Amino acid sequence: MEHKVQEILEQQVLTVAKAVEEKIDDEIAALEKLDLDDIEVLRERRLQQMKKMAEKRSRWMSLGHGEYTEIFSEKDFFAIVKASDRVVCHFYRENWPCKVVDKHLSILAKQHIETRFIKIQAEKSPFLAEKLKIVVLPTIALIKNAKVDDYVVGFDELGGTDDFSTEELEERLAKAQVIFFEGESSMKPSKSQTRNVRHGSNSNGSDSE
């Protein structure tokens, strides 16, 4: 029986290897067919992509991306979520669990300049805390296009203890698609989690685009 299983496994490995080899052969054949004009077109396209990315990086840096910063007014919060497409906002109070979150977000802010990372003291932001239903601290609000798409509340999703790794938090933010992360398993938040955070008098949380 074991011998038969071994034979099946070997056959599967050979099949996969053959498929990979054929794919590589196809890619090599495609490259060999490229003439100088094709190569120049690809080069120009790559240069344009690099230029666009450099412009994006410059814009992100001008908006305060790349650093984990504290904001002190609700007015600043609304200005930031309007200016940046992706914002990670830590609602905190002066306690140990919030300091743990600060440590990890400081690292991630430098690694993910595509996203703005901020913190705001919940007790000094009563309007925001009520509007976004912030109860447990720390709470990390994950904001895309001026809407809160998801929350990380406490440490329950991070192993339930304060010794979780930066990578674990990074993966959680990536699943909410608020940061770009190679190899992420995309998981779009449900519409029921979305709350509008555009500044206005509409208190029922409905969109007012």
Q: State mean pLDDT over 145-174.
A: 96
Q: What is the pLDDT of residue 184?
A: 39
Q: What is the pLDDT of residue 9?
A: 65
Residue 70 banded pLDDT, cuts 50, 70, 90? very high
Encoded tokens for 109:
């802010």
What DSSP string describes 132-189?
Answer: TT--SSSEEEEEETTEEEEEEETTGGGTSSTT--HHHHHHHHHHTTSS--TT----PP
| Residue bearing the bigger pLDDT, 156 or 186 | 156
pLDDT (tens digit, 9 = 90+) per residue, 49-60?
A: 998 989 999 999
Query: Rounded to an integer, what is the distance from CA 131 to the centroid of its chain?
Result: 23
| Residue bearing the bigger pLDDT, 119 or 26 | 119
> What angle do helix axes 96-111 and 166-175 make, rounded to 10 degrees?
70
Q: What is the pLDDT of residue 208?
A: 34
Nearest to 109 by CA among 81, 124, 87: 87
Q: What is the pLDDT of residue 41?
A: 81
Instruction: Please name the residue that has the structure tokens 């090599």.
Output: 28
Q: State mean pLDDT over 125-154.
A: 96
131 within 8 A of 141, measured Cβ to Cβ: no
Q: What is the pLDDT of residue 71?
A: 97
Nearest to 101 by CA among 112, 89, 111: 89
Q: How far apart are CA 180 and CA 81, in angstroms?
A: 18
| Residue bearing the bigger pLDDT, 29 or 97 | 97
Q: What is the pLDDT of residue 26?
A: 79
Q: How far apart are CA 54 and CA 60, in angstroms?
A: 10
Q: What is the pLDDT of residue 44?
A: 87
Supply the pTM of this predicted model. 0.70
Nearest to 120 by CA among 87, 96, 147: 87
- For the chain, give the percent of residues with pLDDT over 90: 60
Report the chain's mean pLDDT, rounded to a whole number: 84
Q: Taking 60 as the threshold, does the pLDDT of residue 66 lie above it?
A: yes
Encoded tokens for 174:
């990536």
